Amino acid sequence: VILNADEWGISAATLRTYRDYLKNYTRDYSNYCINTYQSAFKGLNTRLHDMLEFRTYMFLNVFEYVSIWSLFKYQSLLVSSGANLYASGSGPQQTQSFTSQDWPFLYSLFQVNSNYVLNGFSGARLSNTFPNIVGLPGSTTTHALLAARVNYSGGISSGDIGASPLIK
């Protein structure tokens, strides 16, 4: 309608109405998809595997399309989504189990184009074992993660995260 308004004899007032509909519906439906995703994602709060699987499914089947909606331009009309697709929950909280509040932190580690699938991650570890103080039996071992690497299908992977490994 917007592109063919002159050819179809649509008045300027009706054209403005259709532009407003397009802008408002794009925002409303984009936000609906995002809010539905965030509610479901927050409800998981279980295993990292479940969270990654849900995220991958949603991005491949829903958000690849939703993200395009705001790019439609008709006579200088640009619609922006009212929410951020890539961050669910509040700021990162360092806990033993991963919840939706940890997702912004996790996403910063695993950030890649949404159509790639996470295969896993690897890292280098340095272990030091030293005897306890004289008179105490046993020894103490410490483990340090020197570097981490996130791997995706299709040959895409991150650079080293953290310190560089000692041996390459």
pLDDT, tens digit, for every residue of 77-102?
A: 444 444 444 444 444 433 334 555 65
Query: Which pLDDT score is estimated for 41?
Result: 78
Average pLDDT for 12-30: 85
**For the range 59-65, what are the long-range contacts, defined as Cβ-Cβ under 8 Å and sequence gap of 24 or more?**
59/114, 59/115, 60/114, 60/115, 62/33, 62/37, 63/33, 63/37, 63/114, 64/114, 64/115
| pLDDT score of 56 more than 60 | yes
pLDDT, tens digit, for every residue of 137-153?
A: 888 888 776 666 666 66
